[in-house]
Amino acid sequence: MFPPHRSPEPSGLGAGLAWGGLQESARRVIYGTPVGDGKQSALSPFLSDQNAERVALALCRMRGAALKVGQLLSIQDESLVPLPVLAALDIVRQGADVMPRKQLNSVLDAELGQDWPSRLRSFDYEPLAAASIGQVHRAVLKDGSDAVMKIQYPGVADSIESDIENVRRLLTYTNLIPKGLFLDRAIKVAKLELARECDYFLEASNQKRYKELLSDSEGYYVPKVTDELSSKKVLTSEFVPGVPIDKVAVLSQETRNYVGSREFPKKFVDNYLCMVVACANRDRAGVLEMSRRLGFLTGEEPEVMLDAHVEAAFIVGVPFATPGGHDFRANNITHSVSNLGATMLKYRLTPPPDEVYSLHRKLSGAFLACIKIGAVVPCREMLFKVYEQYDFSDDHSEVLSNTG
């Protein structure tokens, strides 16, 4: 099933999935299909909890590739991605393997030279965090300032193509992903994003630019990059203490309301901003027109798909439609949209535009953060302040019939 290099133990995984699928099929025959959510319970017998764990363990060994695909798929809710798959992806997010000390030293020697320890006052070999393509370590620079060093896992950048292809084969072989999610498009975007994220020179450049652009903005602080201890696979930055989001929930309401890169083509931003405004104003014609311009719709969809698409857009637009402050805990946006998932999967004719894979992942994270900490945010006021000051490249007024 997988090429011999960097394969997630194909024979063992394949046999384990097959045996797990056989057991699940037998269980369903003997005891009947479990009662509950029909969309979930009627799915492939490969979707047992045991098989989800097998998939998760295989994906954990593949680090960056697996996590990147998981991030792109996880912007969808449980009506679109089966629950066992979401569980597996959650394990992957939290289960990145840590580099052994010898391997860590080898990477640092190759990237910074064997004298790198002499350029530091101290280095903590216990990682502060481990993620998709690297792990982060505390350090103290020669001048006594605290720093963090993000060190890329060896081989990640060189094996993007093969690793992500392995993920695609795994998900296809197990029939875990519904056709309407357009897995191949997610795979394509994942390859491009992962290649960019593996270039720490690019990340350092972006970080410096953000620091410059936000230097006069109150409430923002971007850590300084230490160039002499950075490379394409090592990024050293100033250490800035923070508070985990779980602990933010105990802060004052006023503080919580204010919690929570890449550039996009001007035409995309024009159309996307207009679509958000149309969602906020419950402007069906505007939502459909902007959705066609952006590539969410082809114009050939049946009415049932258009109805589901517009309703989902209106639900997601609720925070921007609410006068005054929107209480993110007051309504369950994810649950509301999930009821439309089956219809959209069945009648969707085209994958979403490439830009929204990363954009919606960020927006989803922002929404979830606001829900988690119980923020009350004046979203509508903020949206129209941006809209009124925005410089459009052409006239969009004809499709925004209810702006204001």
Provide the domain count of the chain.
Answer: 3
Instruction: Please tell me whether residues 282 and 236 are part of one structural domain.
Output: no
Residue-wise DSSP of 236-268: EEE------HHHHTTS-HHHHTT-------HHH
Instruction: Please tell me whether residues 89 and 107 are part of one structural domain.
Output: no
- Examine the fold and report which residue of 176, 210, 225 is the final residue of a domain before the chain moves on: 176
pLDDT in tens, 376-401: 999 999 999 999 989 887 655 444 44
How does residue 166 score in pLDDT terms, banded at 50, 70 and 90? confident
In a domain, 261, yes or no: no
Instruction: Please tell me whether residues 170 and 50 are part of one structural domain.
Output: yes
Distances (CA, A) of 300 to 179, 292, 320, 344, 400: 18, 10, 29, 14, 22
Instruction: Please tell me whether residues 165 and 224 are part of one structural domain.
Output: no
Q: Domain span at residue 78?
A: 10-96+160-176
Quote the pLDDT of residue 125: 95
Mean pLDDT of 235-246: 84
Quote the pLDDT of residue 348: 86
Instruction: Please tell me whether residues 90 and 107 are part of one structural domain.
Output: no
Least confident of 60-69, 197-206, 242-251: 60-69
In a domain, 89, yes or no: yes
Mean pLDDT of 225-250: 86
Instruction: Please tell me whether residues 92 and 106 are part of one structural domain.
Output: no
Instruction: Please tell me whether residues 91 and 221 are part of one structural domain.
Output: no
Instruction: Please tell me whether residues 90 and 148 are part of one structural domain.
Output: no
Quote the pLDDT of residue 353: 87
In a domain, 118, yes or no: yes
Residue in the block written with tokens 């001007």: 266
In a domain, 168, yes or no: yes
Q: What is the CATH number of the domain that holds 206?
A: 3.30.200.20
In a domain, 257, yes or no: no
What residues contact residue 121 under an 8 Å CB cut-off, 6+ apart?
140, 141, 142, 144
Q: What is the pTM of this model?
A: 0.54
In a domain, 188, yes or no: no
Instruction: Please tell me whether residues 298 and 326 are part of one structural domain.
Output: yes
